[in-house]
Amino acid sequence: MGDYKRLKTPLSEDDILSLKSGDRVLLSGYIYTARDAAHKRLLESLDKDEEPPVYLKGVVIYYCGPSPARPGRSIGAAGPTTAYRMDPFTPRMLELGVKGFIGKGKRSKEVIEALKTLKGVYFAATGGAGALLSQRIKEAEVVAYEDLGPEAIRKLYVEDFPLIVVNDAYGNDLYEEGRRKYRKI
């Protein structure tokens, strides 16, 4: 696994600036799950001047709604959710200090620009590999919005969680780079 960059959360701006689209990363530390319902509720609470339920500076948000844990496991299958559904919330989350996002699929031009301006990164996790990815999750606990079920915010402790940088802080997009590469063939 020598060609992977190893990162620990919380992520710093230096961590973000060290990454380029296409880099393979093994991420360790605490991350949070949140999907669209949790994002919406969190931002609505902030609009009411309420404290956020989790500390957001330097965190990585995993777009994931895991299945229930089997006996003896910390979590069930925990694969990535399609990221574009969170695009309306992402620039504001970056403004609040979030540094990274994990999902699958493309992001909007507005999100790519916000990642560049506010120094963030979008990672892809392998879709369809939720059972395998869950093996890298050592701890999981609901920390907010338990009533949302699988969409509740969970705090996860991950070890060597495998990711690929899709959108870096320089405006690069791995999906577009791949398309350009194959058009030349």
Summarised one tens digit per residue, pLDDT across range 135-167 is 999 999 999 999 999 999 999 999 999 999 999
Sorted by sequence, the CB contacts under 8 Å of residue 43 that are 6+ apart come out as: 89, 92
**Which sequence positions are flagged as catalytic?**
39
Q: Given pLDDT bands bounded at 50, 70 and 90, which one contains residue 128?
A: confident
Residue 162 lies in domain: 4-183
What pTM does this model have? 0.94
> Residue 173 carries which DSSP code?
B
CA pair distance 126, 123, nearest whole angstrom: 10
CATH code, domain with 140: 3.20.130.10
pLDDT tens column, 68-107 = 888 888 898 898 999 999 999 999 999 999 999 999 999 9
- Which residues in 24-40 are b (16+ Cβ under 10 Å) and which e? ebbbbbbbbbbbbbbbe
- Domains in the chain, number: 1
**pLDDT higher than threshold 50 for residue 1:** no
Considering the chain, what is the average pLDDT of its residues?
93
